[in-house]
Amino acid sequence: MRELEQEALAAIREARDLEALKTLKARYLGKKGLLTQEMKALANLPLEERKAKGQALNALKEAIERALEEREKALVEEELRRALERERQDVSLPGVEVFTGGLHPITLMERELVEIFRSLGYQAVEGPEVESEFFNFDALNIPEHHPARDMWDTFWLEGEEHSLPGPLGEEVRGRLLLRTHTSPMQVRYMVAHTPPFRIVVPGRVFRFEQTDATHEAVFHQLEGLVVGEGITMAHLKGAIYELAQALYGPESRVRFQPVYFPFVEPGAQFAIWWPEGRKWLELGGAGMVHPKVFQAVDAYRQTLGLPPAYQGITGFAFGLGVERLAMLRYGIPDIRYFFGGRLKFLEQFRGIL
């Protein structure tokens, strides 16, 4: 019996897997197992002997059962450990390379500006890039042969007479050009809508000029227009002040100086104090909508059968360059980068949400 015990415990200890353990269990404890046989043989022994041997056999059975249980647990654990080990991965290996996208810095800057004005109740609208001479110049009080036209170097389209859709889709005939500013949208919008309103017009504009680090022939502007009864120049200053505060924080200030744009009177150029750079940034032009622009709008409305809507009304307008702000905002040294298309440049703006 001592031999049996040693043999059984040793075998159990050395069982390599659960299958082997099952065999051992059958060998000792199964219906025909060694221990079971011994138990059955007890019946033939005298009582005293039977009692003593019975106790010993029970102890042995318990020992074997315990050993089996322990070994089984160890084997299960071992199996799991192995399985997990097999599934080990190098977590430092690269993952699937999904594409990372991003927005163009001008989109980002424009969005920031539009959001500032949206928070003040402005709505963003857009106009066409190919424009007629009438909306780009004449209706804005910039007649042909006026020296003021020299302020905008213009790309003209070939041909003397073409058509394009007016503010309500009607045919407008005339010489065509690439808009030199977003201001023609002032006229288009006013023809199609009635005051009061606040709008901003972001968009691409064109100037016939050679490019260098600070000049581009194609760039972006944001135009603002607020029209209604009792709109004042103080409101204009307030709008630009809010822009300054939103862009550069509470230490920012605004400065207005007289300047000439044919479609505003009084006219102004404005600068914003940039606390970080400790300097004034000349950002754009502004002013009170010129009475001749209102007259041109109402005259045009009349040709469309619309009643005049801009008599006794005042308004202010402003325009600013988006590139300039983006260059300052992101530390971009050269305006040509924006249309340069180099992905190593564009991809850097992904962090801006």
Query: Does residue 319 bind another protein (CB under 8 A)?
Result: no
* CA angle, 145 then 150 then 155, to 5°: 95
Q: Is 152 a catalytic residue?
A: yes
The full length of the chain comes to 353
Q: Which of 18, 63, 75, 148 binds another protein (CB under 8 A)?
A: 148
Q: Of 71, 221, 296, 297, which is the active-site residue? A: 221
Looking at the Cβ atoms of 206 and 248, the one nearer to another protein is 206
Tell me how far apart the alpha carbons of residues 220 and 102 are, in angstroms, rounded to a whole number.
Answer: 19
Q: Is 254 a catalytic residue?
A: no
Over the window 183 to 222, marking each residue x when it contacts another protein by CB under 8 A and - when it does not, the resulting string is: ----------xxxxxxx--x-x-x-x-xx-----xx----
Q: How far is the CB of 65 from another protein (least distance, A)?
A: 47
Q: How far is the CB of 130 from another protein (least distance, A)?
A: 5
Q: Of 317, 322, 324, 326, which is the active-site residue? A: 317
Query: Does residue 87 bind another protein (CB under 8 A)?
Result: no
Q: Which of 88, 98, 278, 307 binds another protein (CB under 8 A)?
A: 98
Query: Does residue 92 bind another protein (CB under 8 A)?
Result: no
Q: Is 221 a catalytic residue?
A: yes
Query: Does residue 231 bind another protein (CB under 8 A)?
Result: yes
Question: Which region holds residue 177: left if phi is over 0, alpha if psi is between -120 and 50, else beta?
Answer: beta
Q: What residue type is 139 in one-letter code?
A: A
Residue 10, SS3 per DSSP: helix
> In whole angstroms, how far apart are CA 51 and each of 28, 40, 56, 65?
21, 13, 9, 21
Q: Which stretch binds another protein (CB under 8 A): 5-13, 37-45, 80-88, 93-101?
A: 93-101
Q: How far is the CB of 303 from another protein (least distance, A)?
A: 19
Q: Is 186 a catalytic residue?
A: no
Q: How far is the CB of 85 from another protein (least distance, A)?
A: 23
Rounded to 10 degrees, the C-alpha dihedral 152/157/158/160 comes to -80
Query: Does residue 352 bind another protein (CB under 8 A)?
Result: no
Query: Does residue 101 bind another protein (CB under 8 A)?
Result: yes
Q: Of 207, 253, 255, 336, which is the active-site residue? A: 207
Looking at the Cβ atoms of 80 and 156, the one nearer to another protein is 156
Looking at the Cβ atoms of 43 and 234, the one nearer to another protein is 234
Chain positions 262 to 281 lying near another protein, rule: CB under 8 A, are 262, 265-269
Q: Which of 100, 278, 305, 331 binds another protein (CB under 8 A)?
A: 100
Q: Of 15, 152, 186, 268, which is the active-site residue? A: 152
- Site for another protein (CB under 8 A): how many residues? 97
Sequence-separated (6 or more) residues with CB below 8 Å from residue 5? 60, 63, 64
Query: Does residue 232 bind another protein (CB under 8 A)?
Result: yes
Q: What residue type is 44 in one-letter code?
A: N
Q: Tokens for 306, please give them.
A: 């619309």
Q: Tokens for 322, please give them.
A: 């988006």
Q: Are 178 and 206 in contact (CB under 8 A)?
A: yes
Q: Is 145 a catalytic residue?
A: no
Chain positions 3 to 42 lying near another protein, rule: CB under 8 A, are none
Burial track 286-303 (b if 16+ CB lie within 10 A, e otherwise): bbbbbeebbebbbebbee
Chain positions 234 to 253 lying near another protein, rule: CB under 8 A, are 234-235, 237-239, 241-242
Instruction: Please give, one letter per residue, the 3-state secondary structure of 237-301.
Output: HHHHHHHHHHHHCCCCCEEEEECCCCCEEEEEEEEEEECCCCEEEEEEEEEEECHHHHHHHHHHH
Query: Does residue 97 bind another protein (CB under 8 A)?
Result: yes
Tell me how far apart the alpha carbons of residues 11 and 67 are, in angstroms, rounded to a whole number.
Answer: 10
Q: In the 8-state DSSP scheme, what is residue 335? A: T
Q: Please give the positions annotated as active site.
A: 152, 181, 207, 221, 264, 317
